Amino acid sequence: MKPGNTSPLRFSRPRRTLGWAALSLGAALQTATLLPAMEAHGGGTLPGASPSPQAQETDWIIVPLPALEESPRQPGASLDGLHLFEPDRKLPFSRDLGPELPPRLAEDLTVGAATAAGARVQLLDGSLLVRGSSEAQAAARRALEALDEALSQLRFDVNVRLMAAGADGVATDLINGRRQVRSGSVAVFGQREQHAFVHGYRIEVASEAAIGAPEIGTALVGDVLHLWASTRIDERGERQLFVQGFLDVSRITSVDTFDTEIVALGKVEQPALESTQIMFAGLVPSSGPLRLTASGPTEATARLTLEVAASPLRPGAANRAVVDLARGLWRAQNRSAHALAPDGPPVLRPGETPAGLAQLDARQFPSRGSKPPRSTEALLFAPADSPVSASRMRRLSEALDPLSGPAEVSLAWGNFTSSIPTVEGALVRVGRTRETTMVVGYEPQIATDAALCRPVIEHVMTGTVIEAVLHGGRLVGRGYRQSVTSERVHAPEFYEPGTPSSGRLELPVRSRHSFPLHLVADRVEQPDPGVSASWSLQSRDDR
């Protein structure tokens, strides 16, 4: 091609580029001028303008969905009953199942209604972006509102009050709180204090020097209540709150010191903690609170009374397409063993997962043309085109995880008494324990011209713990008792003053005993000398 033929093209491209730039700038200015008016009308078309087909496709709305919010973790108590922690042990925290509705499931549940109306759904953080015509937006919004209404029936306002009456008869509130609780979550009430103490010494030795660095342990005391929440549909067709609770009341009664009499080491602090722990379960009545009573760990908390009251956030007929499976899942979570029960609690049937229940339903009750159910970690959503499936899966869930009428278990030993609500299949755990530490040995650290012994600290727990499950008309479980009957302090002889050697140590004599628990209703028995137990069914009233 000749050079002269290329000169016109050099001038035409800048003109064309300038024209597109001017057009884009004008459009940008017009958009910047009209954007506030568009935002005032929900991000749709301008007021007074007739929407074109192309404009309708780009219309959008943002719909917030509270079920996508994830609750923060809350500090709680330890299920194994330990309150004294070594320096390298992590402090316990309660667990949560995460958001009420997984984001992808929330997006999936609205796709069908939005797609049928010609809309598109896109997931955002905590909200859904719906694009399409106003009719499609309205259809998607109605689907989201129906979903949120169904999930709001799984939320309850819960009032918790823990009262203590001391030896003088004066009652004080240890816990008095109100919180919104949803099915499948853990709610923690009360507070925990963290106390530091000199747990032991870490030894560092060099060629001609040795030093003992203090190790700081932790003691957790306070009043904490865990509530694992789930629901059931009662005879009136409304949702009713079911809770599995764990109450922990602990106090420091004394702080002793033990001198190892090693020149390079100081004294070891030995705090003594007394605690009362109770696991209970039951449906919260609509006419009054769920109540338990027990003796406290100290004279200031001689008599404890716990009341749990709840009211639904949205009363009315329950959405039966939502099957709540959180009760069985939390029952499996409570299988952790207590410190006095290394063999584990009584056998509890594992809770059925939503996915497993859906598979069992598909195998036992096949239905062609029906959509498969969708599930979260605690909920199962029945297909909208098969209302019979929801009722079928609910009956199947209740058969695998039956919920009996309310019962009351009474346990007593020494000066301790308790009255605990429960239901069939739930774990009842009652513990009255005392914790402290002892120096039971030494580990030598030796260098060329230096030597020093590291104290060996052992955790000592004494008291009584009873664990049982109401099953088949009987209360079956085991009891554990551990005590220190005597203690001797051993002091090795020093051949010369200042000679490196091990220091004084404590030699406890321990006693451990376990006994079976096998009780029938309305009968008081002594499964072990000094321990009396009974249980009875309560009136159902409105529970």
Segment 237-263, tens digit of pLDDT? 889 999 999 999 999 999 999 988 887
End-to-end C-alpha distance for the chain, whole angstroms: 95
Q: Give domain status of residue 372, yes or no.
A: no
Token duo for residue 367: 């239905």
Q: Give domain status of residue 28, yes or no.
A: no
CB atoms within 10 A of CB 419: 17
Same-domain check for residues 122 and 143: yes
- 3-state secondary structure (DSSP) of residue 244: strand
Total domains in the chain come to: 2
Same-domain check for residues 253 and 145: no
Same-domain check for residues 120 and 201: no
pLDDT of 131 reads: 84
pLDDT of 170 reads: 81
Same-domain check for residues 118 and 216: no
Distances (CA, A) of 2 to 5, 6, 35, 416, 454: 6, 7, 51, 109, 95
* Selection from 378, 243, 240 nearest residue 315 by Cα: 240
pLDDT digits (tens, 9 = 90+) for 112-131: 667 776 778 777 777 778 88
Q: How far apart are CA 26 and CA 32, in angstroms?
A: 10
Q: Which residue has the higher pLDDT, 353 or 204?
A: 204
Same-domain check for residues 320 and 446: yes
> What is the separation of C-alpha 346 from the centre of its chain, rounded to a whole number of angstroms?
21
* Portion of the chain with pLDDT greater than 90, in percent: 30
Strand 505-520 relative to strand 474-490, pairing: antiparallel
pLDDT of 37 reads: 38
- Length of the chain, in residues: 543
Which of these ranges, 38-42, 134-138, 408-412, has the smallest mean pLDDT? 38-42
Token duo for residue 349: 């049937």
- 3-state secondary structure (DSSP) of residue 21: helix
User: Which range is most confident: 62-66, 91-95, 152-156, 522-526?
Assistant: 152-156
> Is the pLDDT assigned to residue 19 strictly greater than 80?
no
Q: Give domain status of residue 5, yes or no.
A: no
Same-domain check for residues 114 and 178: no
pLDDT of 430 reads: 95
Same-domain check for residues 92 and 61: no
Residue 518 DSSP one-character state: E
CB 456 within 8 A of CB 441: yes
> Phi and psi (nearest 5°) for 189?
-115, 155
Same-domain check for residues 135 and 181: no
Domain range enclosing 300:
83-100+154-351+401-537
Token duo for residue 441: 């040995």
Question: Which CATH number belongs to the domain containing residue 118 in this structure?
Answer: 3.30.1370
Q: How far apart are CA 527 and CA 471, in angstroms?
A: 18
Long-range Cβ contacts of 142-146 (<8 Å, 24+ apart):
142/113, 143/109, 143/110, 143/112, 143/113, 143/114, 144/63, 144/65, 144/110
Same-domain check for residues 145 and 178: no
Q: Give domain status of residue 383, yes or no.
A: no
Q: For residue 105, what pLDDT band results from cuts at 50, 70 and 90?
A: confident
CB atoms within 10 A of CB 135: 12
Q: What HEC string does 372-405 produce? A: CCEECCCEEECCCCCHHHHHHHHHHHHHHCCCCC
Q: How far apart are CA 72 and CA 51, in angstroms?
A: 44
> Pseudo-torsion of CA 16, 19, 20, 26, nearest 10°?
180
What is the sign of the dihedral through the CA atoms of 339, 342, 347 and 349?
positive
Q: Which of 122, 153, 184 is at the close of a domain?
A: 153
- 3-state secondary structure (DSSP) of residue 543: coil
Same-domain check for residues 183 and 233: yes
Beta carbons within 8 Å of 211's beta carbon, 6+ residues apart: 203, 204, 205, 264, 452
Over range 370-377, report the average pLDDT.
68
> Is the pLDDT assigned to residue 56 strictly greater than 70?
no
Long-range Cβ contacts of 534-539 (<8 Å, 24+ apart):
534/409, 534/410, 535/407, 535/408, 535/409, 535/410, 535/422, 535/470, 535/475, 536/407, 536/408, 537/405, 537/406, 537/407, 537/408, 538/405, 538/406, 538/407, 538/408, 538/421
Q: Give domain status of residue 542, yes or no.
A: no
pLDDT of 290 reads: 95
Q: Give domain status of residue 24, yes or no.
A: no
Beta carbons within 8 Å of 212's beta carbon, 6+ residues apart: 201, 202, 203, 204, 262, 264, 265, 266, 452, 454
Q: How far apart are CA 219 and CA 91, in angstroms?
A: 10
Q: For residue 375, what pLDDT band results from cuts at 50, 70 and 90?
A: confident
CB 253 within 8 A of CB 462: no
Residue where the block lists tokens 């602090």? 269
- 3-state secondary structure (DSSP) of residue 505: strand
pLDDT of 362 reads: 66
Mean pLDDT for all residues in the chain: 78
Q: Give domain status of residue 25, yes or no.
A: no
Q: For residue 456, what pLDDT band results from cuts at 50, 70 and 90?
A: very high
* Selection from 294, 234, 246 nearest residue 92 by Cα: 246
Q: For residue 147, what pLDDT band results from cuts at 50, 70 and 90?
A: confident
> What is the separation of C-alpha 403 from the centre of its chain, rounded to a whole number of angstroms?
21
pLDDT of 499 reads: 55
Residue type, 315: P
pLDDT of 366 reads: 62
Token duo for residue 387: 């209302």
Q: Give domain status of residue 129, yes or no.
A: yes
Q: Enter the pTM of the model.
A: 0.80
pLDDT of 324 reads: 84
> Is the pLDDT assigned to residue 233 strictly greater than 90?
no
Same-domain check for residues 336 and 234: yes
Same-domain check for residues 184 and 283: yes
Strand 407-413 relative to strand 531-537, pairing: antiparallel
